Structure formats: C-alpha cells, structure tokens
Amino acid sequence: MMLSIHRHILRAGLAALVLCGNGVAWGVEVIVHPGVSTTEVTRPLARLIFGAKVTRWDDGAAIRVFVLPDESPLHHELSKSILNLYPYQLRAAWDRIIYTGIGLAPIQVANEAEMRRQVASVPGAIGYIGKVFTYDKVRALPVR
C-alpha cells in the first residue's frame, strides 16, 4: 500500500518534471500569431526581433512586436533568460528607434491578457506570456 502511494507520488513528480520541459513551469514563453510561418528562432534572432532590428519573417511578412511594461517581472524574465540582455539595453534601443525614427518600436500593452488578445489578432505578431498549459489562439515559438 505504502509502496503504491510512493509510486503514485513518484509518477506525479515525473509527470510534473516532463510538463516543466514542455512549458508548464514558471517562466516566460515567446508566442506568435498562428499565421506566422516561422516555427522556431535562434536566440540571436530573438534578440534582433525584440530589438526591432529584424522586422520581417522568413516569408517576408511584417513582424509586429508587442511588449509588457519595462518594470513587469515577465519583461525582466524575457530580457535576461531568453534574450540575455539587460532591460535597460532594450529600453535604450527602443528609445533610439522611437525618437530618431529609424524604425517602428515595439507596441507596449498593459498586461498579459491584452498581450494574448493582440498577438492572437494581429498578423505577424510576436510577444510573450507566462508559461501556461494552453495556447488559445496563439502559438508558442521556441527559442533555441
């Protein structure tokens, strides 16, 4: 009996670990509009996309970048663990783009719900959300 319970706990634990690998754990996940043809990106390319330096997908369609406020914990998570950049570096790059007009800076949304809504509805959109079980109307974009 005890053994069986242990086995159940062990099994549940293993399942949780596996799920972690698939994106259930706390953290941040890059998401795109379901119409985006690109299926994965490298970290350098993710840096270029969020830095608004690469502005088109492989198929030539416009990339539209959505971001959360600078002070949001998820934004820090994206900057540091996915892009390996300090948030102030992104802010400096965006301010430069905005006020010298060299491109289109990312569009800031207020919260994760708004992020989901925008990325689901705007063609070519990319953004990020906390890791979840479901990707209703958006698609995860793995960053290698």
Partner 1 sequence: MTKFVRYPYAEFVPLLALLMLLGAPPARAEANDAADFRFQGFVSQRLTASSGNNNFFGETADRLSADYTELGLGASWRPRPQWLLAGQAIYRRGGESEDGRIEPDYYYVAYTPWESEEGHITAKLGKIKVPYGLYNDMRDTPMTRPGILAPQSLYLDALRQLNQAAGGVHLEAERIFGDNSATLRFSQIKPNVRSDNTYWAFLGDRAVYPGELYSRDNEAFSGQLAYDHDGGRLRAWISHAQGLAYYRPAAGDSWITGDLDFKFTALSLQWNGENFSLTGERARNRFLTKLVNTNPALTGSNLDVGYSWYLQGQWRFAPRWEALLRYDAIFIDQNDKDGARFAANNPGRAAWSRYAKDWTVGVRYRLDRQWLLAGELHHVDGTNWLPPADNLSNGQWLSPNTDRKWNLLLLQATYQF
Task: Please give the residue ranges that form the binding site for partner 1 (CB under 8 A).
Answer: 42-45, 47-48, 51, 53-56, 60-62, 64, 69-71, 83-86, 88-89, 92-93, 95-96, 98-105, 107-108, 122-125
C-alpha span between 103 and 83 (Å, rounded): 20
Under a CB-based contact definition with an 8 Å cutoff, are residues 93 and 52 in contact?
Answer: yes
Under a CB-based contact definition with an 8 Å cutoff, are residues 28 and 87 in contact?
Answer: no
Q: Closest Cα to residue 38, out of 15, 14, 16, 63?
A: 63
Q: Which is nearer to partner 1, 51 or 78 (CB)?
A: 51
Q: In whole angstroms, how close is the CB of 121 to partner 1 at the nearest point? A: 9
Q: Which is nearer to partner 1, 70 or 112 (CB)?
A: 70
Q: In whole angstroms, how close is the CB of 64 to partner 1 at the nearest point? A: 4
Exposure b/e, 41-72, CB count within 10 A at least 16 = b? beeebbbbbbbbebeebeeeeebbbbbbeeeb
Q: In whole angstroms, how close is the CB of 4 to partner 1 at the nearest point? A: 50
Q: Which is nearer to partner 1, 11 or 53 (CB)?
A: 53
Q: Which is nearer to partner 1, 21 or 101 (CB)?
A: 101
